[in-house]
Structure 1
């Protein structure tokens, strides 16, 4: 398999423009990819495609997921709102839970569709799909004209998955690896299915490197033996980079690359301790290793290239940022994210209107908040049952509960969160605690009461 770097370089510098009225938007999301997996973040995996995207755009060094696990982070990305407001408390198990992304929410797809965009989602969904027991909305009810998705993971693994659904109809077993199949679908949509008179929003959510993992032998061999889980894990990321290269080459064919905004991130931190960049914790917990992820924005000609941005940001900012860059009205509701356009374009002053905030019921710490250089974390003042899967019966206790054992960390001086400064800075803790509790109260007030439905 060729790396297609040459195609990528062409894609980043040329292309034939069909002069869409607005720029195209492409969101690329990895699944369980750690802060230090890919090359441009100092990781061990060869990712020349992503490295070039970062070089041709902006790379955030303090970028965050919407949650330490999958479904809620995806809800936050699509809405610009904390996932509990959007109805998603934790990762969704469709067969046993009523939970799903609420139809009352306004997604990025709906914003762009309202502005005249053709919209498509390809890849993992995990925001709720119908089952025999529960009737749930599908991606077309959240603004996507076309969709090709799975409930949760690619099954039985990334190799030859059998659980994709296309516009409501099961596809059956496919031959190949999930990331390449997702790229194939995106390319086919660009070629044959989209309305070519419109600009497009293409939402591409890969399954890799979420377990159960699989990648071509020849790629895995570049990182170790076939039985080496770290090598297979790296192989899935490398394979995804190659799939993205093919997609970017196609994007350059259909329109000039300077008419396409591309965003890349991960839904949460890695489940591997060795891929978090030495940060504390990993997937599933609200320490930095569970929530800090790569974040890349590329739009040649609009976002100056080669930027490294150290200001804290996250997937919660994607919707307001797209609106800001494209001069679109934001949804008329409270957004927890802020518009990063001044940072990305180096024009104007950026001010975050609300600190970044995370909540996950089974994590310890259960909440975290970042305001500037400081992080405040806390534990719950209540107990839940021992189940690791979210129980909708917990919702009253979660919404009524509060927090204890507050700890403060200076993430600029101590990104590994080794030294609690709470005793040294009581006034700062008092101020940040008040902010945290105010944000928490607002979010819980909006949270869905699935236990009553």
Structure 2
């Protein structure tokens, strides 16, 4: 069952990758995180069943590497962002299900090392430009408060963005630790709340893009490497493509919004070239989870576009369509152009990868669920340092992936797809789902009855990962809260 590798082999592989990095200077790192972009929304990943043009992301893939088996640590927003920036699963914290809101308290503990903090300590200038959605010290009811415990206290030297999703108040830009305008009015984008007078949802993407380009151009003139984390607000709701992108896609407004998102990737990559830093920049484009039901998926499918490609499920779900995400990386002269990796990776791995790039070892209390994918980027196998990959659904349900096997510890989707977690139908189904992804990527044949030994072994392994407070080698750590392996949901008839 176990995919174990001899310790000596691991050390040799790590040493080889570290030697390759030692031969180059520290690269700039740009990470663009799209919001609710499905695996099948990227044309080069879904050429047969994708109908939305994404020429800029496709070009990036042609110049770099496509990862076909990349996963967010959760199928919804906040948990994935926590995992990406800390290298630790969100369900080890107080956030056992769902997401945070705009006025919620910080999820990342003040003393926890983040990717930004790690890079900052190793000579990088760090910036977050976009959607934070990880909580901050933001007093509700005050029109112009000083913001505490925001990105500036979690390793970022610069922050310009919004506190949460674009459909969550407060509706206002934050520059550093202050709103750019006081919250003097009320606005609604799905939810109603405090807002700045001049803030409009349609202006957010262009503003983020200008700020990101300004940052790149300024930092390119210095002798320090930079880390730009750019979590976009698209194509998440509200679906508000700008005028120049409206009616560009035959799929509708969602298609327009995806095309605008792709164009932003093009603007960022072009700015790197203009600034003269293209060749020493590792750029990654990925997403926080799968496509949302709010995109009106059935209507798009009628027009021939399948945002989850051949995968089952959507955002919120424990199925592959909920958490298998686009992941494309370009690093000229380091990553082979037009290459592809089928190795299983997770967004949590950004932490350990960043550490290996700068040549430092993470302490035991950081990046507990992160493995360096630097070898894969350089065309090598990833040493097997993680026992297995754990998936998490919106309602808190677990799955564990090891090799070809994926075990889901519930009878339902864990999210919005059928069978829903609160449906009568879910009562009639087995309490476990076991899929052989090598033969059944669409998760159509539940093999739990045929392979009880696999169910037992993977369940035991997940219990160990939870109990140890980590899924990688190192000293055991404590979780922040009690964790229930199986969730009990109220059944609605």
Whether the TM-score (by the shorter chain) exceeds 0.5 is yes
Asked whether 1:298 is paired with 2:295, we answer: no
Tell me which residue corresponds to 2:433: 407
Matches of 1:348 and 1:421, distance apart in 2: 29
Match of 1:262, SS state, is strand
Q: Distance in 2 between matches of 1:405 and 1:156?
A: 35
| 2:249–2:256 Cα contact (<8 Å) kept | yes
Match for residue 142 of structure 1 among 154, 158, 172: 154
2: CA distance between counterparts of 1:265 and 1:361?
19
1:133 Cα shift? 5.7
Deviation, 1:434, is 0.8
Aligned residue pairs total 399
Whether 1:207 and 2:233 are equivalent positions in the alignment is yes
Runs of 5+ consecutive residues of structure 2 not aligned to the other structure = 1-23, 142-146, 182-197, 298-305, 412-429, 471-476, 483-493
Q: How far is the alpha carbon of 1:140 from its aligned partner?
A: 0.7
1:349 is displaced (CA, Å) by 5.2
Alignment partner of 1:185 is 2:185: no
Selected match of 2:286 from 240, 265, 288: 265
Deviation (angstroms), 1:429: 1.7
- Which residue does 2:341 correspond to in 1? 309
Give 1:86 shift.
Answer: 5.2
Q: Does 1:254 align with 2:282?
A: no
Match of 1:30 among 34, 51, 74: 34
- Gap change, CA 1:283 and 1:156, over 3 Å in 2: closer
| CA shift for structure 1 position 361 | 6.0
> Secondary structure at the residue paired with 2:325?
strand
Q: Deviations over 1:362-412 (max 9, x none)?
A: 25xx101111111000139xxxxxxxxxxxxxxxxxxxxxxx922210112
Bigger mean CA offset, 212-221 vs 289-298: 212-221
Matches within 5 A, 1:40-189: 40-42=44-46, 43-85=50-92, 87-89=94-96, 90-95=98-103, 97-98=104-105, 100-132=107-139, 137-154=149-166, 162-172=171-181, 173=198, 177-189=203-215
Question: What's the secondary structure of 2:406's corresponding residue?
Answer: strand
For residue 102 of structure 1, report the CA deviation from its aligned partner: 1.5
Structure 1: runs of 5 or more not aligned: 1-19, 225-229, 381-403
For the aligned residues, what is the CA RMSD? 2.8
Shift of the alpha carbon at 1:174?
Answer: 5.1
Bigger shift: residues 330-339 or 236-245: 330-339
Q: Which moved more, 1:100-109 or 1:259-268?
A: 100-109
SS of equivalent residue, structure 2 residue 446: coil
TM normalised by structure 1 equals 0.81
Q: 1:205 to 1:44 in 2, by over 3 A?
A: same
- Which residue matches 2:246? 220
Partner of 1:377: 408
TM-score relative to the length of structure 2: 0.75
Q: Is the 8 A contact 1:178 1:206 kept in 2?
A: no
- 1:355 aligned residue: 388
Question: SS of 2:432's equivalent?
Answer: strand
Separation in 2, partners of 1:416, 1:247: 34
Greater mean deviation of Cα atoms: 42-51 or 295-304: 42-51
**Change beyond 3 A, Cα 1:61–1:340:** same
Deviation at 1:131, TM superposition (A): 2.4
Aligned match for 2:313, one of 281, 290, 297: 281
Structure 1 residue 358, shift from structure 2 partner: 2.2
Provide the rounded CA distance (Å) in 1 between the counterparts of 2:382 and 2:161. 39
SS in structure 2 at match of 1:244: helix
CA displacement, residues 13-41 of structure 1 (integer Å, 9 cap, x when unaligned):
xxxxxxx9521011110001111001111
- Structure 1 residues 268 and 286: alpha-carbon distance in aligned structure 2, compared to 1, 3 A threshold: same
